Structure 1
């Protein structure tokens, strides 16, 4: 994808983009482009917020720990003129419930996985705000309850 002076031609209404986390510059937030305005670079976006079904996942979200995949729903809207906060466009899948959407790794994508991850981090979230990641390529489509095959990148 080549950006011109404003980069506006890469963005259009309805797209969902991964957005970089300012903590560690990993793309783990998501925003849907609602409206592209010009002149210059100005977008109206709506954030997607994690909306888990599982109790442990809900507690994880409640503790403010990062969520990069799972079930999401639309949250707050805002305007942004910060082009560099956007990483790449992604595809959404209907979530099975009204106004919910699923985001999971797709075959061929590169993802960062938490190193030595444990759902129990939610019990002591403050000590897990810093973490290490390993980068993987997704080799198969994700299946709920099963996961996906990956290969580690060196």
Structure 2
């Protein structure tokens, strides 16, 4: 599926070689569903060779007993605690694999290409979980989203700490202000390359 370009913010500019520094942790796109679900820590950058860098992969730590586990052990874990794999590093000569710096337990890895996602904004972390607000696509735009409303209030929910696997991945986002004469103020432009494909299929 062809991914459209962002309409206002240049997300690709955030992945130029000078943005990469040793010690940073970046998210990389997975082969399973082309969404940013892997993490790597940069160990070396060779800016005198065009684009070339090395990283070590981050691996998820064992989940606590009170956290819901995937039935399919091949499923990617994208949220939680991670450790660096010190055994080997991998080199890259292009930024194409990089996304950004910094749900049912029965789902299987083979289902990733056809499953659908809800987009949420994390509002706050509480003792019991994380409160999120649901976002919806703005009519007429590929990657502009706004808060879902019900009776003039944002639609929210709380994801318990034991349900962290409900989170798939983080999407780079830019808060709109003066674009389109301010008519989109407060809305979010999301990086199209990190959006699930079913949002484009609706057009």
Q: Is the TM value for this pair above 0.5? A: yes
Alpha-carbon RMSD = 2.9
1:131 aligns with 2:115: yes
CA shift in 2, pair 1:31/1:126, >3 Å? closer
Report which stretch shifted further, 7-16 or 75-84.
Answer: 75-84
**TM-score scaled by structure 2?**
0.51
1:1-154 pair list within 5 angstroms: 3=13, 7-37=16-46, 38-54=48-64, 60=70, 63-75=73-85, 76-90=88-102, 117-119=103-105, 121=106, 125=108, 128-129=111-112, 130-140=114-124, 142-143=125-126, 146-154=128-136
Q: How big is the shift at 1:127?
A: 6.1
Aligned counterparts of 2:32 and 2:60: Cα–Cα separation in 1: 18
Q: How big is the shift at 1:17?
A: 0.6
CA shift in 2, pair 1:61/1:16, >3 Å? farther
* Larger Rg over CA atoms: 2
Taking CA–CA contacts closer than 8 Å with sequence separation of 6 or more, which of the two structures ends up with the larger relative contact order?
Answer: 2
Q: Give the gaps of 5 or more residues in structure 1.
A: 91-116
Bigger strand share: 1
